[in-house]
Structure 1
Amino acid sequence: MIPTVTSTLTLSRLRNTTAVCYIRDAENEYVVESGSRDTGAEVDTTGAGDAFATGFLLGLLKGKGLEECGLLGDIVARFSIAKLGTRQGFPTFNELAQRYRELYSKPL
């Protein structure tokens, strides 16, 4: 079952942002916004959801919080849509770590 967004603050944030993901656990809710407004070239969006899930799961495996997992998913999905096909755009770990540092000024 998909959780219902009931918080007025959350609804307001969702309306006024370029949210890429809404995450909710038992205690918290997060609206993960894109780290970059510059979307670059969108060549092929096929596989973007899988790419997002890959970055999100990498964050979980590295012990990151849910919000940070969403940010990692966003970065991997952005790499993915820049090339034709479902896997050609996936970044290496070093490319992902570099982009993360560029956007958030901290190491992955």
Structure 2
Amino acid sequence: MSDTETSTSDVDDEPTVESLAARVHDLEETVHGVGWGGLTGDENAEQRTRIKTTKQVIELAESHNDDGAPLQDVYSITSILGIEFDDAKEEVEKLRRQGEIYEPADEVVRVT
């Protein structure tokens, strides 16, 4: 295999925000048994789901980036999943305060 073939293959394997969001959505359905739209309207249940989903997004984005999960990617993916920017930002802050994530660099987070 030539260097050109290897680099083309590597580029094709790079995840997109949309592919990561689809993967998180699939994981969420597997873990919770329902999609994002299947919530009951219970505010506490919705918040718990947002927190879990946000953490899953961070874990997934982190697995594709050696430096951690760029917050811009986290917010893009959570937005695709139907979580408003302000809500996602609030969930990231809660996860940070609870010690479940940390920020090794500006605008980059990692799961503890």
Task: Identify whether the pair has TM-score above 0.5, normalized to the shorter chain.
Answer: no
Q: Which has the higher contact order (CA 8 A, sep 6+)?
A: 2
The two structures have a TM-score, normalised by structure 2, of: 0.30
* TM-score, scaled to structure 1: 0.31
